Homo-oligomer: A and B are copies of this chain.
Amino acid sequence: MPQVQQVTAVGSIALDTLNTPFGRVEDALGGSISYIGAVGGLFAPINIVAVVGDDFPMDEYDFLRDRNVNLEGLEVAPGETFRWEARYHDNMNIRDTISTELGVFEGFQPMLPQAAREARYLLLANIHPSLQLDVLEQMHDPRLVAFDTMNLWINNARDEVEAVINKVDLVIVNDEEIALLTGEQSPLAGALELTKMGPRYVVVKKGEHGAVLVSHDDLPFLCPAFPIANPKDPTGAGDTFAGAMVAYLAAVDDIGTFSLRRAMVYGTIAASFTVEDFGLSRLKSLTTGEIEERYRHFRSMVEF
């Protein structure tokens, strides 16, 4: 059996106000790191690196401590926690941002504790690419570095985004981001283009349509999404996908083709739980048994 490795995840923590056709929640625990910690911790130990304000309801994070998540790298800074409000359309693939108040996140300077620096698996969630470069320099010798970003940075800090991409192993982006990055309309063509910029692997997330893994040296892997008939809130689906994917790789400590493929399947399954309820609600009670059950279902739904 391989030894389970640690993951370091650097990103944002926010208090989200979410409006979907199925309801509204206010100041719910959110930000990429909340989702990554909640699901990743079910697979492998996660060192989170993020900042919150001194108004942050820290007791709501208690369930993370019980779940293999090391909060040592969680900085509490004087000021307000990052707040974000969004409204989803009836077609929940479309959402409008209503307000963004960065609070203490604006001055975030990731400082990695020793354990975080020594982790073999690093997930650079969506933060400014210059901070991502800074984190990379603090790491000792990661075996796999995974990377997420957003349109804002691709448009406003393109050179730095490209500098990070050049240094990472696995890029996890959605189809819009890949079109912006490469100018290719076809996600597959865009992903192939992106592998020429440095990373060995590119995962294109397509939301309810699943994800595709593209690499230099292998056929693509076509991963459908685990179907959920009545999703309530898509927030965090992409983050849980990435979190479960990287944490699974750390758990098996392998980045071969089939481990990467299985990691994606666990990613889509983690995301399927996320969208079933608002914010982190479903993930709080999620068990590894439930994940494994859905994994078996997924296999039955793709056999032919």
Partner of A188, one of B90, B227, B261: B227
Q: List residues 248-304 of chain A with CB under 8 A from any CB of chain B.
A: 258, 261-262, 264-265, 297, 300-304
- Which segment of A26-34, A52-60, A70-78, A206-214 sits at the interface? A206-214
A219/B189 contact (C-beta < 8 A), A209-B210, A261-B303 known? no
For the complex with contacts A186-B228, A220-B227, 15 further pairs of A-B residues with Cβ separation under 8 Å are: A90-B185, A186-B230, A188-B228, A188-B229, A192-B229, A209-B210, A210-B210, A221-B302, A222-B301, A223-B304, A258-B303, A261-B304, A262-B304, A264-B304, A265-B304
Q: In the complex, A229→B185 CA distance in Å? A: 9
Partner of A227, one of B92, B185, B212, B300: B212
Among A227, A228, A262, A264, the most chain B Cβ lie within 10 Å of the Cβ of: A227
For the complex, is A231 an interface residue (Cβ under 8 Å from B)? yes
Q: In the complex, A230→B300 CA distance in Å? A: 31
Among A225, A227, A303, A304, the most chain B Cβ lie within 10 Å of the Cβ of: A304
Asked whether B301 lies within 8 Å of A221 as measured between CB atoms, the reply is yes
A17 to chain B, nearest CB (A): 23
Q: In the complex, A91→B262 CA distance in Å? A: 31
Asked whether B304 lies within 8 Å of A219 as measured between CB atoms, the reply is no
> Per-position contact with B for A173-209: 1 when CB-CB < 8 Å, else 0?
0000000000001101100100000000000001001
Interface size on A, residues (CB 8 A): 35
Q: In the complex, A186→B220 CA distance in Å? A: 27
Q: In the complex, A152→B18 CA distance in Å? A: 36
Partner of A210, one of B90, B220, B224, B258: B224
Q: Chain B residue with minimal CB distance to A264? A: B304
Residues on the B chain within 8 Å of A258, using CB:
303-304
Q: Chain B residue with minimal CB distance to A226? A: B222
Q: Lowest 7 A-B CB distances belong to which pairs?
A: A222-B224, A261-B304, A209-B209, A189-B229, A188-B229, A188-B227, A222-B301
